Homo-oligomer: A and B are copies of this chain.
């Protein structure tokens, strides 16, 4: 466990000393001590320095930094620099540069300019990873390996085409199977030889959805294969844990369930995309995902910004107090630390305006003061290392569903996989409960409530799994346009969704009726729907709310079905946020799930971490602009004393079984 090596939770960030000089390094040492930094991610963008020309390595400068950090009590998360091939790589291997769907070959001058399927790239990446591991595998400073950075670059080149064909052969076995899976009888797409199969490059109209779905799956597997090559090269020389930092939902085209199985520690980057309470909810969303990808094991917040909130073309600053509150938000949900990108704000380069622990203004600044306070707070939480978080509720999450829901030719541009997931999670967060994410085919028996939003693609096994979950006593809420296609993307026939799910839900969906752009409808219970509606026939289910207008007037909008020992609900439109939260509240009641700590006003978040030894810590985060009184005075680990009230924006970590 990383915390063992660090003697507590991790605190620190990306550290790029190669951008600075000796005078700054000295100040870094001092400020890191002040801020209680114990982990620095080094080398993410150092390829050009480590291998200044192909095959010639220069490690001396890195030796010095690792020794210096070690001497200063800072461990190192050592990165392989493979996300940013140096300029010489472009000239030596032009065929390894990525090619867009339209055929433009990209060049260096930014980062992430590589084709993950190009042999020259893969070989160069494996080689530099191996060289680093050989040299630093046993270095006492090294606590963790950080393979690559945010795998993301898609490519449509000839290397990609070749690798795609290899993957397809393995997946489908025969061309006949591929033709059947992709429905190539339509639009005269039948492939007569493997050579005819191309990546989904620029074409005239809608692309075949089987092709694009498989291309997404292929790309994900290709990324994982590239990761594994580096991981295995490192393991040859080092016994330290290996990970890679995963990105925001929707950004990284990888099956994070699968990738998470291959890392020793799930690590994520997180930058909220809206300010205020929305950012806090987004912290919870990201953290719950990360914990779930690792099956509940502690994970690590690898990157956050001290003052970075993306918002409609702007990078907003964080509000005072959010550095600590967001850090605790992640730790509350299972992160064994809080790291930032980056330690010191670059004075030049493409991210010179990305916030950092030491801003341009220097240590005499609000940001660095908050960083120090956060470092101190995190340092007091060492006992929490390895403790875990338990949830009674899960939201289903599946990359296949996401990718399939990105197909061309769907009935509405108002659908969106991750926004649907975020809406479902938010409704639960607003109800004060902690949520897991789960794969549709996973064992769900530990959950009292399972929510399935936007589960457009659902395998036969997944559909049966959900049915069984309900039969065995679970409460399930399936939302519109779910269970619609099978694992090949073929539509479910005879009425949607997949038959086992129809049985569980006691309904049959006959047709989809997308709503107009900005159309808003009223249901019989006065709730409002947008985006979508469906013609649903109750086949055993109880109708809870009906549509009130148009072709669907009087027909079911929301249903509940008793099936075996459980309850299965179906919601056939997208409810407004408040209505959605109210529905989820009703389901939580019905499933017997209450908030972690009842009686608190909205905007006060409470999460419990529990150690193997049964010790429990209640994180209380007051996101409100008003103070909040706690029912009973309790011991706050952050201050080491009793706490009766949290000020606006204040936080506490209360120790004890039921501290309030």
A-to-B contact residues, CB < 8 Å: 16, 18-19, 45-49, 52-53, 81, 84-88, 90-91, 98, 100, 102-113, 153, 181-193, 195-198, 200-211, 275, 307, 311-317, 319-320, 345-354, 359-362, 364-367, 408-414, 485, 488-496, 508-517, 535, 550-551
Contact = CB atoms under 8 A, between A and B. Distances in A.
Contact of A489 (B47, B211, B316, B348): B348
B202 A106 contact: yes
A48 B511 contact: no
Nearest to A193: B88
A413 B311 CA distance: 10
Contacts of A516: 275, 311-312, 314, 316
Nearest to A349: B186
A588 to B, nearest CB: 33
Nearest to A532: B314
Nearest to A187: B111
A353 B410 contact: yes
Contacts of A102: 102, 104
3 closest A-B pairs by beta carbon, nearest first, are A183-B348, A186-B349, A313-B413
Q: Is the interface of A mostly helix, strand, loop or mixed?
A: loop
Contacts of A184: 48, 349
29 contacts: A19-B185, A47-B188, A86-B188, A87-B191, A88-B196, A90-B196, A90-B198, A91-B195, A91-B196, A98-B204, A108-B189, A108-B196, A109-B198, A110-B187, A111-B204, A113-B204, A183-B349, A186-B350, A210-B348, A275-B516, A312-B517, A313-B412, A315-B412, A316-B513, A317-B512, A317-B514, A347-B490, A348-B489, A367-B511
A190 B51 CA distance: 11
A204 B110 contact: yes
Given A209-B352, A317-B551, A408-B350, A511 B49 contact: no
A91 B161 CA distance: 14
A315 to B, nearest CB: 5
B206 A110 contact: yes
Given A106-B201, A353-B410, A361-B511, 8 more contacts: A106-B203, A107-B202, A109-B201, A307-B511, A311-B517, A317-B511, A347-B493, A351-B409
Contacts of A110: 187, 203-208
A562 B316 CA distance: 32
Copies of this chain, count: 3
B314 A493 contact: no
A513 B489 CA distance: 46
A311 B414 CA distance: 12
Contact of A314 (B98, B182, B414): B414
Given A153-B204, A205-B110, A365 B511 contact: yes
Contact of A349 (B103, B109, B209): B209
A515 B485 CA distance: 43
A350 B196 contact: no
A189 B109 contact: yes
Contacts of A367: 511
Contacts of A105: 103
B362 A493 contact: yes
Contacts of A108: 189, 196, 198, 203
B348 A109 contact: no
A30 B408 CA distance: 33
A409 B186 CA distance: 41
Contacts of A312: 516-517
Contacts of A106: 201-204
A113 B188 contact: no
A604 to B, nearest CB: 21
A203 B109 contact: yes
Contacts of A360: 491-496
A320 B109 CA distance: 52
Contacts of A192: 48, 52-53, 86-88
A307 B350 CA distance: 43
A87 B186 CA distance: 13
A100 to B, nearest CB: 7
Contact of A513 (B317, B351, B413): B317
A189 B49 CA distance: 9
Contacts of A107: 198, 201-203
B511 A412 contact: no
A192 B87 CA distance: 8
B186 A45 contact: yes
Contact of A182 (B320, B348, B410): B348
A200 to B, nearest CB: 6
